[in-house]
Structure 1
Amino acid sequence: MQEEKRRGQNRDIDLDTLDGQIIRALQQDGRASIRDLAASFGATRELVSHRLRLLTEHEGLRVVAALDPGFAGHHVLTHSMVLVDGPVGPVAERLAELPDAVFVSMVSGAFPLVFESRHGSVEELHESLDWVRGLPGVQRVRVTTYSEILKGFFVSPERRQISLDSIDYALIAILQRDGRTSYRALAEAVHLSASSARARVHRLIDAGVIRISAIKSGGISRNRLAIGIGITARGGTEPIGRYLAVSPAIDFAARSHGNYDFVATLVGASSSTLLTVIDELRTIPEVGAIESWAHFDIVKEDYARTLGRVLGP
């Protein structure tokens, strides 16, 4: 009887839609329980667990902890577009080797390669850019500097002063590899009780030291299209920033200076959904121009960074 009830509960669920809901929920809270996810979607825990396992093992979904860039001492955040002469893939692979590059993607448009990087100083930024310009095939690099992150799954909305010890560092290192590691496993690794490990993790999250969220390799799948946009403003910028901050289709948004006044990433299940968002942006009087690029292949998406390099116990 219970088995028949569970089958009936799952019968009308579209699996592609469910996969998208799981990804979205884990982007908001990477440690959300299977029970809570199932209750939110009206599905059984068995089905949600099965779909999450498929997403993880076959679709490249990862749930990881990332250090907030400000806490980690990364005060210079940039978005760069690269003009390439010849095949883009080899340049993208070399760029992915750059430790300061947290995101590398092959895209549409005149500049077929974009990357985001984080640096401790302007001097570090210049050193990285010189290295990129020296790569075979690189013709030109256009740099836009983020001045304020408006929305981002791996950027904490607020930070508090907090003192960390060796146990905190150990917990962060484990969660950087797998953000859904059980509290029991965390406790065993650092020789604490499960309740103490839970309290430590919540403290790190509440203080803005880390965010635990889902990232999905590759820019295009049956339930995820990703479009980058650069916005040039005319007049005041507040209405643009307000729209970017509240639109559910926008995964990331930053106020910036350089080539664009804002840089954002739109994610949706269909091109029509993303087109609607761009058209809504065009209706804002303060929007002067919008450039867009489709993400074809995300070569690197690594916001965790090396713990020893960033924090150093």
Structure 2
Amino acid sequence: MSDDLDAQLIAALQQDGRASYSELAARVGAPRTAVSARVQALLGTGAVEIVAVAHPQLLGLTTLAHVSVAVSGPADDVVGALCATDASVFVTAVSGAHDLVAELRVSSDRELYDALAHLRAQPRVRAVNTLLYTDVVTSVFMPQGRLRSDVHVDETDLRLIELLERDGRMPFVELAHRVGMSPSAARARVSRLVTGRALHVAAVVRRGTGSGRPALGVGLNLGGDDEHVTGFLARLPGVEFVARTVGRFDLVITLGADSTTRLHRITEQLKALDEVHGLTTWAHLEVFKEHYSRGIARTTP
């Protein structure tokens, strides 16, 4: 089966990781049997995983940051320090002026400062540059927008979220059995959580497994309003993440594609936009940590 079908299926699963094989077949225009076989093959190799991620606000994580780290000498010890902290959800080796990039999600600006201080204290760390997210515009790794104010979760909802964090495509029959309700009630609960932005279920490409799908980080410096740029990005295939940031860039983007040629073409399209005054890229070379789930703190009455 062609790489093009795989790319289409991954894109569809990044939008809805629980889409049925029939729904996926309709979206990509391929036979259901072929779609089922390819999805099972992708999941079986570990190159793609369906994960459920609770909204950071639901976890009390209100401060999100992109951290670039320059290291003197081998980076193993710094990688270990970054991977060991709960604050990091993503740690990768990159090309360019920095050696490592991490995404940190913490509960306050003070906690972020402490995490950065711990990072700066590592012997081989030469420089740390931080971008604070002001708004996550697009992400296949978390629910879009702010958590809806009318969403309230109970113990059953929390249990469903935890089960889906372990297996994003767990059948509703099994989910229902695990939490003690009917399949239709479980389906309604999950739908409410997704609609309310409390939960997002999507495909994540595990690039450390030899998937062969390169990823590129992009920092944009803009002039004028960013709405045209973010609207343009929303229509582009392969855009996995877009965030407005405070720091040396106005937007930070993650692009995924089936080839470096495709990534280059996307960056050329971005350079052609009048609002883009500067573009910096870095290749993701090796992913050491990619874990967006975190236990939800229970509150006692």
- TM-score, normalization: structure 1? 0.89
Q: 1:284 Cα shift?
A: 1.9
Match of 2:206 in 1: 217
Distance 1:231 1:48 in 2: 36
1:146 to 133, 157, 163: 133
8 A Cα contact 2:215 2:256, kept in partner: yes
| 2:280 alignment partner, one of 287, 291, 296 | 291
- Write the distance in 2 (CA, Å) between the matches of 1:107 and 1:220: 17
Q: 1:17 to 1:220 in 2, by over 3 A?
A: farther
3-state DSSP of counterpart to 2:128: strand
Secondary structure, aligned partner of 1:163: coil
The structure with more radius of gyration: 1
1:208 aligns with 2:197: yes
Which range is displaced more, 151-160 or 93-102? 151-160
Kindly provide the amino acid, as one letter, of the partner of residue 83 in structure 2: A
- C-alpha distance in 2 between matches for 1:234 and 1:39: 40
Q: 1:285 to 1:44 in 2, by over 3 A?
A: closer
Partner of 1:279: 268
Show the counterpart of 1:59.
Answer: 46
How far is the alpha carbon of 1:142 from its aligned partner? 0.3
Residue 37 of structure 1 and its aligned partner are, at CA, apart by 1.8
Q: Could you say which residue in structure 2 is the equivalent of 1:159?
A: 147
Partner-residue secondary structure (3-state), 1:123? helix
Matches within 5 A, 1:102-141: 102-141=89-128
Deviation of the 1:100 alpha carbon = 1.1
Match of 1:79 in 2: 66
Aligned residues with identical type, % of pairs: 37
Query: What is the aligned partner in structure 1 of residue 83 from structure 2?
Result: 96
Larger CA deviation: 66-75 vs 140-149: 66-75
Distance 1:284 1:245 in 2: 14
Gaps of 5+ in 1: 1-12
Residues 173 and 110 (structure 1), Cα distance of their counterparts in 2 relative to 1, 3 Å cut: same
2:267 equivalent to 1:302? no
Quote the offset at 1:103 in angstroms. Answer: 0.9
- Matching residue of 2:24: 37
Comparing 27-36 with 89-98, greater Cα deviation is found at 89-98
Secondary structure of the residue aligned to 2:19 is coil
Aligned residue-pair number: 298
- Determine helix, strand or coil for the equivalent of 1:109: coil
Contact in 2 for aligned 1:149/1:155 (Cα 8 Å): no
* Closer/same/farther in 2, CA of residues 48 and 301 from structure 1, 3 Å limit: same
CA deviation digits over 1:229-259, x for unaligned, max 9? Answer: 1111234433333323332232111111111
CA distance, structure 2, for counterparts of residue 148 and residue 158 of structure 1: 9
Please give the root-mean-square deviation of Cα atoms over the aligned residues, in Å.
1.9
Matches of 2:21 and 2:299 in 1, distance apart? 34
How far, CA to CA, are the matches of 1:210 and 1:43 in structure 2? 29
Could you tell me which amino acid in structure 2 is paired with residue 32 of structure 1? Answer: A
Query: Hey, which bits of structure 1, 4+ residues long, moved more than 6 A?
Result: none
Name the amino acid aligned to 1:276. R
Quote the residue 1:27 is aligned against: 14
Partner of 2:232: 243
Moved more, 224-233 or 240-249: 240-249
Deviation at 1:272, TM superposition (A): 1.9
Give the TM-score of the pair, scaled to structure 2: 0.92
Cα deviation, residue 79, structure 1:
0.4
The match for 1:226 is: 215
Distance in 2 between the 1:163 and 1:234 partners? 40
Once residues 268 and 36 of structure 2 are traced to their aligned partners in structure 1, the CA distance between those partners, rounded to angstroms, is: 37
Which secondary structure does the structure 1 equivalent of 2:265 belong to? helix
Whole-Å Cα distance in 2 between the matches of residues 93 and 180 of structure 1? Answer: 31
1:50 alignment partner, SS class: helix
